[in-house]
Structure 1
Amino acid sequence: MSHFASVARVPGDPILSLMQAYLLDTHPARLDLGVGVYKDAQGLTPIPRAVKLAEQRLVDSELSKTYIGGHGDALFAERLSQLVLGADSPLLAERRAGATQTPGGTGALRLAADFIRHCLPGRGIWLSDPTWPIHETLFAEAGLVVGHYPYVDSNNRLDVEAMIGAFTHLPKGDVVLLHACCHNPTGFDLTQQDFERVLEVVKARELLPLIDFAYQGFGDGLEQDAWAVRLCAAELPELLITSSCSKNFGLYRERTGALIVCAADAEKLVDIRSQLAFIARNLWSTPPAHGAAVVASILGDDELKCLWQEELEDMRLRVASLRRGLVEALAPHGLSQRFAHIAEQRGMFSYTGLSPLQVLRLREAFSIYLVGSGRANVAGLDANRLEYLAAAIAQVCN
């Protein structure tokens, strides 16, 4: 008897499979625009200097490797909450908001999903079409009913009217996942006026927003990117926020994130946090300590925080420059207007508008790797290779 005879093989993650194919490619001009990590001009994903300095201090000062508790590092939770909600946030002063540390932003999303399933039974969750593929599987695996609202139309443009129209028909009380900034995978962000209109429908339909905030600092700036989260926190009595330190602190493999809950009053927050600790206990017991300690050290030290902010701003500006540079490189091929949206988008990703067939041709003929949907990781670009990419795009578009 074989206990495992009926276990079937499932397809590998398409993005990770793309990374493997890239690594096996021997073409000297190969270009990886698939996996969502920031890369510098040398094609490396660097460790910020502020992180290295904080780690060195931790090595010298750390006295124990004991567990850090169900809600994680308290200093990390406090300082990250201030970064997200603002140091002068009334919610923090009134103890109406609190963070539970998680293994990365993905862990925060899973904790939110299980909280919704256990504590808000019967609520569906609505995702943008398109959204990050892991959103789809993560919430479904948690047992939630997943629906979609329109976000990008067939012409590869943000469709705010369709989004708002869909929100007006969502079941009252359901959860809507919103991207705070740097929408993954499209790069199209709502304007403040757009978001205010969406918020009015959220209020009217009594919807619960779950705001995915994975790219703070990569859009328009560290403080500027938080406006949507802070608007919702000011206008709504209850809110869920998932925060990630993978991109802005370069802590990808340290799996550092948090679920921040905003409640109507301090007493209710205690109830909610008791549930989160119980759910987390059955998911990962206690979260990893190292990344959280690094973040807490940086945010608690003026010198390190200033250095980190400068490094993050350099990353943001580099990605924005690459966006503009690619559109300019497409101009001699008569394609700058067609792809003008790339310079208007925000964050690491761009929904280029390339078809699956064109993406396949880029891979086979030029060793340029994009996700099949046409999503490109702009942060994987090299400024010296923009002309090569532009010429390749021109070839597959003609």
Structure 2
Amino acid sequence: MITEGTAMADMEQRERARLFEGLNPQPGDSLLAIIGMVRRDPRPDKIDLGVGVYRDAAGNTPILRAVKKAERILNETQETKAYLGGEGDVRFVELMKDMVFGAGASSDPRIVGLQTPGGCGALRLGAELIRTANPNARIFVGQPTWPNHVPLIGSAGVGLVEHPYYDCEGRRVLFDEMMAALETARAGDLVLLHGCCHNPAGADLNADQWQAVADLVARRGLIPFIDMAYQGLGHGLEEDAAGARLVIAAADQALVAHSNDKNFGVYRDRVGSLHVKAADESQAQTVYSNLMVIARTIWSMPPDHGAAVVRIILDTPELAADWHAELAEMCARIRSLRARIAGFDPRLAYINEQNGMFSILPIGGAAVADLREKEGIYMANSGRFNVAGLSDDNVERFARAVVARLPENL
């Protein structure tokens, strides 16, 4: 006998069964798919240039000496795993202010910041702040850009305006086209800028171009949103921040998403921060209160371990010195790899003029697929490859395989 209660239960069960029927299958992340392809390839000499991690001369992604030492200190001295609060490690945030904005920035009342789960967390928190402050906000995004920029920022509801930045075939920054696009921006619009070591192109603005962008930002009342994910891996910590600091100084308001995953080698610990420069101290405190509320709704409390390790390193002179030495070694190795690749063929000379972990090869998807199938060399379909993924033993094999597939008319 079916009672009213049984019928109601059956209806609720059917409703639950239909909950996910409205979902459509989603395409997988193409870069993450490369990880799976590499794992399934049994060839011992395969080369993985897809995932963006630094590898040493032997092809390993090491834990830095300073990180190991700081972790031991943390393990021996940490007395609790209680929550730190929504802002995260306050001292870490202060240290990151100085690293990003320059010495003494931690005392600037116009700049507020929070610890975030990596650079991705910082980008999303910034996007949510923008949408909260102005639901009609637009952000100008140069193309190509890191593939996750668009979903991270756009899915928060911020309008995206794409503009040219880099010509993959011509292997050059399209600076005039970029500036012409930014001239169409309205006061209060944002512009997304790679602080250094452009991903995926490796092609950064030079000093004069950064100054021109700073002048335009000031003249048109634009708000820079700077993604600083590779500070120290281009030419050095101060050198890599110089252009971004010009633009920030020229703007009344600015946002900076910063990551330590790469320059401290703490990828899986997800160490980042978002800093916002406001027009004055009062506005900065309003911004901070909004950041705290938004962060509470996304991750509530950021993870502690990685940020604590970074803080210990920077607050311990001998560890800080060791980290600076290791970072300089990583930077020098990347520059050496770029020079070696560029030396194999004049058509690759542009690679030595670029910075950071990534560059884009002027080859098509068919050539990328051929490199995977015949050579066991894996990279993104766009030809974007991780320079720092090469070992000393395989860089020559990689370069020769690429040269054999370069268009003759480059």
Taking structure 1 as the reference length, the TM-score comes to 0.95
Q: CA deviation at 1:379?
A: 0.4
Q: 1:53 aligns with which of 43, 60, 69?
A: 69
Q: 1:16 aligns with which of 28, 32, 36?
A: 32
Q: CA deviation at 1:97?
A: 1.0
CA distance in 1 between counterparts of 2:132 and 2:140 reads 17
Give the 3-state SS of the residue equivalent to 1:257 in structure 2: strand
Cα RMSD, aligned residues only: 1.2
Deviation by residue 1:122-141 (Cα, 9 ceiling, x = unmatched)? 11111110000000111121
Give the 3-state SS of the residue equivalent to 1:339 in structure 2: helix
AA in 1 matched with 2:109: R
Deviation by residue 1:294-343 (Cα, 9 ceiling, x = unmatched)? 11111111111000000011001001101111122x2xxxxx22111111
Question: Which residue pairs with 2:380 in the alignment?
Answer: 371
Larger Rg, first or second structure (1 or 2) = 2
Equivalent runs, 1:250-289 vs 2, <5 Å:
250-289=265-304
CA distance in 2 between counterparts of 1:94 and 1:139 reads 27
Q: 2:224 aligns with which of 174, 191, 209?
A: 209
Question: Is the CA contact (8 Å cut-off) linking 2:164 and 2:178 kept in structure 1?
Answer: yes
AA in 1 matched with 2:43: H
1:63 aligns with 2:79: yes
Question: Which residue pairs with 2:7 in the alignment?
Answer: none
CA distance in 1 between counterparts of 2:241 and 2:342 reads 28
Q: CA deviation at 1:175?
A: 0.9
Q: 1:354 aligns with which of 349, 353, 363?
A: 363
Q: 1:196 aligns with which of 184, 206, 211?
A: 211
Question: Which residue pairs with 2:44 in the alignment?
Answer: 28
Question: Which residue pairs with 1:138 in the alignment?
Answer: 152
Question: Which residue pairs with 1:218 in the alignment?
Answer: 233
Give the 3-state SS of the residue equivalent to 1:131 in structure 2: coil
Question: Which residue pairs with 1:390 in the alignment?
Answer: 399
Q: CA deviation at 1:108?
A: 0.0
Question: Is the CA contact (8 Å cut-off) linking 2:140 and 2:182 kept in structure 1?
Answer: no
Q: CA deviation at 1:387?
A: 2.0
1:313 aligns with 2:322: no
CA distance in 2 between counterparts of 1:87 and 1:390 reads 41
Question: Which residue pairs with 1:78 in the alignment?
Answer: 94
Question: Which residue pairs with 2:248 in the alignment?
Answer: 233
Question: Which residue pairs with 2:110 in the alignment?
Answer: 96
AA in 1 matched with 2:121: G
Taking structure 2 as the reference length, the TM-score comes to 0.93
AA in 2 matched with 1:389: F
More moved, 240-249 vs 264-273: 264-273
| Structure 1 gap ranges (5+) | 331-335
More moved, 348-357 vs 206-215: 348-357
Q: CA deviation at 1:272?
A: 0.3
Give the 3-state SS of the residue equivalent to 1:47 in structure 2: coil
Give the 3-state SS of the residue equivalent to 2:171 in structure 1: coil
Deviation by residue 1:331-379 (Cα, 9 ceiling, x = unmatched)? xxxxx22111111110000112222121111111111001011101000
Question: Which residue pairs with 1:333 in the alignment?
Answer: none
Give the 3-state SS of the residue equivalent to 2:231 in structure 1: coil
Return closer, same or farther for 1:31/1:273 CA change in 2, 3 Å cut-off. same
Question: Is the CA contact (8 Å cut-off) linking 1:325 and 1:383 kept in structure 2?
Answer: no
Q: CA deviation at 1:4?
A: 2.2
AA in 2 matched with 1:116: I
AA in 2 matched with 1:140: G
Give the 3-state SS of the residue equivalent to 1:231 in structure 2: helix
